[in-house]
Every structure is written in C-alpha cells, then in structure tokens.
Amino acid sequence: MKNVIEQLKKKREKKQQESKHYISKEQIKATAKENNRIIKQMEKQNNRKNVDESEYITQMRNPNNVVEFDNLHAYFYTDAGVVKAVDGVSFDVPKRSIVGVVGESGCGKSVTSLALMKLMAQPTGQIAKGEIRYNAKDGKAYNIAKVPREDMNKIRGKEMAMIFQEPMTSLNPVFRIGEQLDEVLFLHFPGISKEEAKQKSIAMLKTVNIAMPESIYSRYPHELSGGMRQRVMIAMALLCDPNLIIADEPTTALDVTIQAQILDLLRNIKNDINGSIMLITHDLGVIAEMADYVVVMYAGRIIEKGTVREIFKNPVHPYTVGLQKSIPALSSGEEKLYTIPGTVPNPINLPDYCYFRDRCEKRFGKCNGAYPETVQISPTHFAACYLVDEMKTEIKEKLKEVDKNAKKQQRKN
C-alpha cells in the first residue's frame, strides 16, 4: 500500500513539473497582447526622428573606459513569454584593451554585443532596462539604450564596428567585395569620390594582409576562402577607424592555422588603431592568449569577471572552474574530458535562486537562498557566488603565492 501511495505522489510531482513548461491558449493570448503593447511603446521610442542630442547625452563613470554596461537587461518579447537573454549585466571595456566575454552557447554573449550595436532582432528584441554608455571620439558620451534608430546609424560603423561570426552570411553574395567596402565609406563620408573610396578600400585590404588586393577588390565572396572572407570583414570594420571593434567569435569557422593568423592580426590592429576590442568567444584558449580582462557569463548574467590572470590563476565560481576543467590538456592523464552536468535553465522561466545551483557540484545550504550578490574579491576581481565568503582566506594565500612566484621569475630574467 505504501509503495502505491509513493508511486502516486511521484506521478503527481512529475505532472506538476511538466505543467510548468506548458502554457494554455488563454495564457499565450494574454502574454502576446501584453508583449505587443510593450513592443509598440519601445518601437515608438526607437523610431523617433529629429531627436535632440541632449536626450541621450550622458557622462562616463570613468573617462578611461570606451564602453560601460550598467545593469543591462535585453529581452525578447515572444508569445511564449519574455526571454531574458541578458538579465542585469554590468562591466566596462577600458581604452586600449581587449575584454573577452566567455560562456557556453546561449549565455547572452552575442546578445550583449548586439544590444551595444542596437542590432537585436526587432521588434521582439529590445533593451528593457539599464544603460550602455559609449565614449565617442569627439569626447561626448552617449547612452546607446536611448539613441533612436536614425541617430544610431551615424554611430554604428563609424564609431564602433562588428566582425561577425560567419562571414559568408554577413557578406552579400551578389555584390563584389569592392562594392561592399566602398558602401561603408559612402555612408559615413558622403563627400568621398568613387576613386578615393576604391583606393582606401584596397589600402585596407593590404592592411589585413590580403595578397593581390586589387584582384580581391573585384571578386565575389564565394570566390574567396573562409580566412580571406574573415579578413575582408575585418577590413570592413576598420574602414572608418572605429574606437571599438566587437569581434563575435571571429575564428569559429576557421581551421587552427588560419585562426592563429586572424588572432595575431586583431592584436596588431588593436595597437595600430589605438582602440579597444570586445572579443566574444566560447574558447578559453583564445581568451587566455588575447584578453586583458575576462567576463564570464551564464544564463544572461555575469557570474565572474576580472583580469585574465585572476580568472585563469584563481577562478572562484564553480562554473568558471568547470569551463577550465573541460579544456583538453596533453599533460592530463584523464581519459574522459570533464563535462559540466545538467543543462542551462529556461530563460523564460528563470529560478529565483542561483541559476547554476542545480548543476553545481559544490552547492551547500546557502545556495537554496536568493540569487547571490556580486562580491568583490580584489580591486578588479568579482564573483556572484556564496562560496566566495568561505574561500576568502584561501584566495588571499593563493594570490600571495602567485605574486611571490612572479617576482622570483622576474629576478631570474
């Protein structure tokens, strides 16, 4: 009898869990109606014309930053509910630095960059809350979240540019490479002649180390290799001498040797233009090689951020540790590659506790409480985890040991 009761209880619990993932037709209609109302309001703001600049002029918290994300919320308003793709993200991109944004697929990396460029899939994709402060070349600071679509066209491409993940889908297959490069210059420099635009485009192709640039200028995208197409995308991004380059997984579709060349090229370009790069990737090896600062994202939130040395030498959050453990290493004697158990929570129905709790191997009593606050470990190192308080003494000892080793190495050299 007891076994029958237990089985019935389990069935009831299972049905309750399953019911959370399904919504009725009435709920879909109500959700769609409310979301359409919100979308109309936001689109009305985005489509305003002849807006006075004072409405979106702001002040940088630190003038040495190119971009400051401040409590950014970027949502997709769908019939099934609100997808909280980016849910309260705050970090800075300092001048003349490379900031790596890392995390598994669907964590909100690309949506963060698309929100900065205001290229989210509209009308459903909108910046719901927060600020994105951008430090322009002319010394003004713009709150990108409030910039109307018409004025954003003047900033996007000229002030900040993006290198997309897959160049074959970013380049127009029916136009020649030269026509697509020249178009950027015609848009942002209306007075430029065709010959001047051509010469500048060819010079930029040379800058990104493309052989026979005059020949490439007159070819179609399908006539180029993957590496060459990606170089063309980099050349297009650099044409207007931007302050900030956003590289969204620029090496994903390339083989290892071409990947190394593209990373070297990006590093050299950063020094040449005296600008900053926001590098988005799921490859921790690329981050370790390229970045000055690292931001680790999970389910739309930042779970840890710091300098590249702090994140790799002294990771605190179990998710960051898990990502590092899952990197293949020749020195490791393990036959199986480590995998983080479980799956990412549904972004429509996120829990009120730590999003990583159900996958975490180090969870304890406190983890059943509210989502943990971001705790400062050092002047540049932050983590959102209850383990930080337990590990503070251990972290300090580790940092001292790392500093000692670094000083010894300097003496030897």
| DSSP conformation letters of 215-279 | HHHTS-GGGS-HHHHHHHHHHHHHTT--SEEEEESTTTTS-HHHHHHHHHHHHHHHHHHT-EEEE
| DSSP conformation letters of 175-224 | S-HHHHHHHHHHHH-TT--HHHHHHHHHHHHHHTT-SSHHHHHTS-GGGS
HSE, CB side, 13 Å, CA atoms: give it for residue 20.
11
The DSSP H or E segment spanning 87 is: strand 81-94
Strand pairing class (57-58; 141-143)? antiparallel
Of the pLDDT bands very low, low, confident and very high (cuts 50, 70, 90), residue 334 is: low
Average pLDDT over residues 194-205: 94
Least confident of 5-14, 67-76, 86-95, 356-365: 5-14
* pLDDT exceeds 90 at position 73: yes
Arithmetic mean of pLDDT over the chain: 87
Distance (Å, whole) CA 386 – CA 367:
7
* pLDDT exceeds 60 at position 345: yes
What domains are defined for the chain? 298-412 (3.40.50.300)
The DSSP H or E segment spanning 127 is: strand 125-135
Of the pLDDT bands very low, low, confident and very high (cuts 50, 70, 90), residue 20 is: low
**pLDDT tens digits, residue range 132-167?**
999 998 889 999 999 999 899 889 988 999 998 888
- pLDDT at 214 (0 to 100): 94
* pLDDT exceeds 90 at position 410: no
Distance (Å, whole) CA 413 – CA 410:
5
- pLDDT at 395 (0 to 100): 64
